[in-house]
Chain A
Amino acid sequence: MKISFPYMGTTIVYKKLLEMLGHEVIMPPKPSQKTINLGVKYSPEFACFPLKVIMGSYLEAVEQGAEVLITSGGHGPCRAGYYEQVHRRILAEEGYQVDFLVFNSMFKDFKTFKENMLKVKGKSSWLKVAHVLGLIYYMTKKLDALEKQVQKIRPYEVKKGDTTKVWEKIQVLFDPASTKKEMDRAFQQGQELLDGILQMTVPEERKIRIGIVGEIYVVMESSINMKMEELLGNLGAEVERAQYLSQWIEYNAIPKSINFTHEMEILKKGEPYIPINIGGHAKQTVGHIVDYAERGFDGVIHLMPFGCLPELVSQSIVPKISEEMGIPVLTLSIDEQTGTANSLTRVEAFLDLIRGKRAKKIS
């Protein structure tokens, strides 16, 4: 069956997974103005921005012949849990008959999970499935390791844009890899490419590190968040994201009682501020801010879709955390606006604030 999925972050991972299980993959195009226009046109006006963009991606995918769409469900009381229902209806109204496979944590609803797995499994044996999942996890780890370097190198590149180009090349390198050995080779080549980037030497005490937290889609998908990582990099700051795919897999693939992953630790750190699960990534958001403060980061950029309820809650708690932990936080609402001058002004001023804090003056 022809399968597609929402476009988010390093999509070659999903593509690879489905291809290795013998499916034909319809790669949705990277969200562009056209995607957004499509999504906005067919989605309810009040819906959150990720729903609209994903709607656009789906429309582009079914246009190319996708028959099945794979997505994840939502955690707790957040609208993301109903995305699939809304998307399904809109697609049906537009005359597209598509199946949805919604993956929720297998520990919550094992029956549905198993049914979904059986569909994805196709003719492959369970042994093969296990093998493929292992490989994909391995590849995600490798890619994340390289991306973290990309985020550290970018601010010091001599020629603007070099690091981003290398990162795009790296993702292409991983595309044909289907064995551990080939992935190792792609990793090696990627590492060499990264090492080859001409860098300025900046003394340690002048380096600035910024964490990006918030709702997973606007954090992970650069094409809709004004390329926040690149923007910060170009303004001279190292970046770390709260979400990486490998962490997401680790968190979701291990039962809670024996889960000692990074994400569990983060959730614990956020507990003094948001003790209960209010949906979305609000708990992670506050937890990550605490974590970044403890690790000595200089500041945090908090991204949220305009009108996102869980993130509105975390936003109102941010000033308190910011004060108690002594870390500046800038919240930016993401919506379909294309005029970025304003957000740029804020991000620039935010970095001035951080530099000024160090120099003990306005800079």
Chain B
Amino acid sequence: MKELYLGIDVGSVSANVVAIDQGGEVHYSTYIRTNGQPLEAVKKGMKDLHASLPTDVVVKGVGTTGSGRQLIGVMVGADVVKNEITAHATATAHVVPDVRTIFEIGGQDSKIIILDDQMVVDFAMNTVCAAGTGSFLDHQSERLGIPIEEFGAMALQAKRDVRIAGRCTVFAESDMIAKQQFGFSKSEIIKGLCEALVRNYINNLGRGKKLEPPFVFQGGVAANIGIKTAFEKEINHEVIIPKHHDIMGAIGSAILAKEYIHESGSTTNFRGFGATDLAFEPSAFECGGCSNNCEVIKVELDKQVVAMWGDRCGMWANNL
């Protein structure tokens, strides 16, 4: 009989599901693009996971993270629902125990996490602007007609340096068009974009922080070798990319679930693999109790309300 812990990271662009064992070893993982349907993506991930596991497996605990952590947490019966920063730091400290600086670039946000002696001592998160995130690259790859998977390798072929303004996607785009008209090649433009993104990231998130090695770079964008190279050039130091760089959040939440179960000695709330097939019905309504008109999210299972949130005053959430 095998005892496993599940971690689910539901982000803006992808949903990841992992299963780890007592030692923190990853047994199964999946990375699914949500395409705007995070619930469906998680359902699919859970099904795939179930199909690939031997039948004698016991799930001892489940953790969720990411912007969709609450809803998915209710659906699967999570033991731990944690923010992405803690989840990412947990996973990285597990893989690279002496890590001091984590660069994480995801689809719609990017983070920097500073650790000391396996403790998070500082962090910053960028969300107000797309310029430092994966979505920016996605968008530009579409513009240039180059699949995002080939983006990084192309950047490495550049022969010359091109400086592209990275402060704002709008500026970057007009700069890019101008440089294209000057006759720079696609690969040079791409390299310029990678460097602009990294410069923006370091200026924005690294502001006022002492960045010390070892550096670990993770998140979906870490698959892009062009960005990795740009990072190494910018900070003048080697950057480590963990093997499971794109599912670190999920791994972290699985580890947190494992720790929680161990420390509390409790048994899991996991609803079972079939749970995602249950008819969970998330819906939203405008409260109208006051002039705030909050949009309240309601999750029902068999006509039974299982969770509510989104109300500022707590009249729904606190009275469940």
- A and B part of one assembly: yes
Chain A interface (Cβ < 8 Å from any Cβ of B): 29, 32-35, 159-161, 164, 223, 227, 230, 316, 318-320, 322, 328, 333, 341-342, 344-346, 348-349, 352-353, 356-357, 360-363
In the assembled complex, the Cα of A68 lies from the Cα of B15 at a distance in Å of: 55
Q: 20 interchain pairs (CB within 8 A)?
A: A32-B290, A32-B293, A33-B291, A160-B314, A160-B318, A164-B314, A333-B128, A342-B127, A344-B83, A346-B125, A349-B83, A349-B85, A349-B120, A352-B82, A352-B85, A352-B86, A353-B119, A353-B123, A362-B86, A362-B89
B123 cross-chain contacts in A, Cβ below 8 A: 346, 349, 353
Contacts of A160 in B (CB 8 A): 314, 318
Chain A residue, CB-CB nearest to B123: A349
Within 8 A of A (CB), among B75-90: 82-86, 89-90
B200 at the interface (CB under 8 A from A): no
| A29-B291, A348-B86 as given contacts; A353 in contact with B209, CB under 8 Å | no
| B122 part of interface (Cβ distance < 8 Å) | yes
Nearest CB in chain A: distance from B117 CB, A: 8
- State whether the Cβ of B233 lies closer than 8 Å to any Cβ in chain A: no
Question: Is B84 a contact partner of A345 (Cβ separation < 8 A)?
Answer: yes
CB pair A342 B292 closer than 8 Å: no
Q: How far is the CB of A320 from chain B (nearest CB, A)?
A: 8
Contact A345–B119 (Cβ < 8 Å): no
Q: Apart from A345-B84, A352-B83, list 5 A-B contacts with CB within 8 A.
A: A159-B318, A160-B314, A349-B123, A352-B120, A362-B86
* A32 surroundings in chain B (CB, below 8 A): 290-293
Q: How far is the CA of A213 from the CA of B312 in the complex (A)?
A: 22
**For residue A227, which residues in chain B have a CB less than 8 angstroms away from its CB?**
312
Find out whether the CB atom of B291 lies under 8 angstroms from the CB atom of A356: no
A144 to chain B, nearest CB (A): 23
Q: Complex formed: what's the CA distance from A362 to B312 in Å?
A: 30
* Cross-chain contact A328 with B122 (CB below 8 angstroms): yes
User: In residues 261-306 of chain B, which contact A (Cβ within 8 Å)?
Assistant: 290-294
**CB <8 Å contact, B291 and A34:** yes
Number of A-B contacts (CB under 8 A): 82
Contact B86 A319 (CB under 8 A): no
Mask: chain B, 89-101; 1 = CB below 8 Å from A; 0 = not: 1100100000000
Leading 8 A-B pairs by shortest Cβ distance: A319-B208, A349-B85, A32-B291, A161-B318, A348-B83, A34-B291, A345-B83, A352-B86
B51 at the interface (CB under 8 A from A): no
Determine if B292 and A362 form an interchain contact, defined as CB atoms under 8 angstroms apart: no
Interface check B67, CB cutoff 8 A = yes
Knowing A32-B291, A34-B291, A345-B125 are in contact, say whether A362-B119 is a contact too (CB < 8 A): yes
Whole-angstrom CA separation of A357 from B207 in the bound complex: 22
Please measure, in the bound complex, the distance between the C-alpha atom of A308 and the C-alpha atom of B82, giving whole angstroms: 31
Q: B125 contacts which chain A residues (CB < 8 A)?
A: 342, 345-346
Tell me whether B119 and A356 are in contact (CB under 8 A).
yes
- Which of B85, B120, B123, B128 has the largest count of A CB atoms less than 10 A from its CB? B120
Q: How far is the CB of A41 from chain B (nearest CB, A)?
A: 15
Residues of A contacting B293 in the complex (Cβ-Cβ under 8 angstroms) = 32-34
Q: Which among A159, A345, A352 has the greatest number of chain B C-beta atoms within 10 A? A: A345
Number of B residues near A (Cβ < 8 Å) is 31
Chain B contacts for A352, CB-based, 8 A? 82-83, 85-86, 120
- Counting CB contacts under 8 A, is B141 at the interface? no
Closest to B84 in A: A345
Docked CA distance A32–B314 (Å): 15
Nearest CB on B from A235, distance (A): 11
Contacts of B128 in A (CB 8 A): 333
Given A349-B83, A349-B85, A352-B86: A362 and B291 interface contact (C-beta under 8 Å): no
CB distance from B180 to the nearest CB of A (A): 32
For the complex formed, measure the closest distance between the CB of A250 and the CB atoms of chain B, giving whole angstroms. 32
Q: Tell me, in angstroms, the Cα distance from A32 to B207 when the chains sit together.
A: 34
| Nearest opposing residue in chain A for B319, CB measure | A161
B1 within 8 A of A: no
Which residues does chain B contribute within 8 Å of A230, judged by CB atoms? 314
B93: chain A residues within 8 A (beta carbon): 362
Neighbouring B residues of A341 by C-beta, 8 Å = 67
Give complex CA distance A29, B290 in Å.
11
The answer for the CA separation of A305 and B34 in the assembled complex, in Å, is 34
Residues of chain A within 8 A of B314, CB atoms compared: 160-161, 164, 230
In the complex, per-residue mask of B103-144: 1 if CB is within 8 Å of any chain A CB, else 0: 000000100000001111111010110000000000000000
Contact among A316, A348, A360, A361 with B208 in the assembled complex (CB-CB below 8 Å): A316
In the complex, the chain B residue whose C-beta lies closest to that of A353 is B120
Residues 51-84 of B contacting A (Cβ, < 8 Å) = 67, 82-84
Known contacts A33-B291, A345-B83: A353-B121 contact under CB 8 Å: yes
Shortest CB–CB separation between residue B261 and chain A, in angstroms?
A: 14
CB distance A361 to B83 under 8 Å? no
Q: Closest residue of chain B to A306, judged by CB? A: B128
Of all chain B residues, which has the CB nearest A230? B314
Report how far A159 CA is from B312 CA in the complex, Å.
17
A34: B residues at CB distance < 8 A = 291-293
Find chain A residues with CB under 8 A from B89 CB.
362
Cross-chain contact B120 with A345 (CB below 8 angstroms): no
Q: Closest chain B residue to A60 by CB distance?
A: B291
The residue of chain A having its C-beta at the shortest distance from the C-beta of B255 within the complex is: A362
Chain B residues, Cβ within 8 Å of A328: 121-122
Q: Is there an interface contact between A362 and B121, defined as CB atoms closer than 8 Å?
A: no
Complex alpha-carbon distance, A356 and B115, angstroms = 11
A339, closest chain B residue (CB): B127
Residues of the A chain whose Cβ atoms lie less than 8 Å from the Cβ of B109: 342
A317–chain B nearest beta-carbon distance, Å: 9
